[in-house]
Amino acid sequence: MTPAAALALAVEKGLDLVEVSPLSAPPVCRILNYGKYLYQQNKKQHDAKKKQKLIQVKEVKFRPKTEEHDYQFKKKHIERFLTDGDKVKASVMFRGRELAHPNYGRHILERLKGELAEKAMVEADARMEGRFMFMILSPRKA
């Protein structure tokens, strides 16, 4: 059908002539209500976004001289974040002369990895970046 005939038919029915596939030979067009079509497309995108689960990355900071009670308290926070389905970035912050002893921070992160082995899997192992040593944990699939 010629474009002029298709346009006349669309006007006669009170609808729009919409080009669906412009790159094909000949171009493919449809006669439809364009406003309703846009609404349905927008609704599909909205529903897809609603079903999507956003995973946040929560950060828990330690220091090389973190005491036992504080360590346990922060570990409980990490466990809660993991059960909620969020990823956790456990980081150890060094200041001044503490940078000379990165093994203290590595010890904290290795201990954390061992104690949370059944609840979390290590996504990124402990590594040093500037004054921070960090490790990323993600929840284990049930």
Identify any residues that bridge with 132 across adjacent strands, giving them in sequence order: 93, 129
What does pTM read for this prediction? 0.63
Identify any residues that bridge with 17 across adjacent strands, giving them in sequence order: 31
CATH number, domain containing residue 18: 3.10.20.80
Any idea which residue has 């996504």 for tokens?
123
**What count of other Cβ atoms lies within 10 Å of the Cβ of residue 102?**
15
Q: How confident is the model over 2-8, as a mean pLDDT?
A: 89
Residues 40 and 23 in one domain: yes
Residue ranges making up the domain that contains 30? 3-50
Total domain count for the chain? 2
For 71-115, how does the pLDDT look when each residue is reduced to its tens digit (9 = 90+)? 999 999 999 999 988 999 999 999 999 999 999 999 999 999 999
Any idea which residue has 């669906």 for tokens?
20
Q: Are 79 and 88 in contact, with CB atoms under 8 Å apart? A: no
Q: How confident is the model over 36-56, as a mean pLDDT?
A: 89
Residues 65 and 101 in one domain: yes
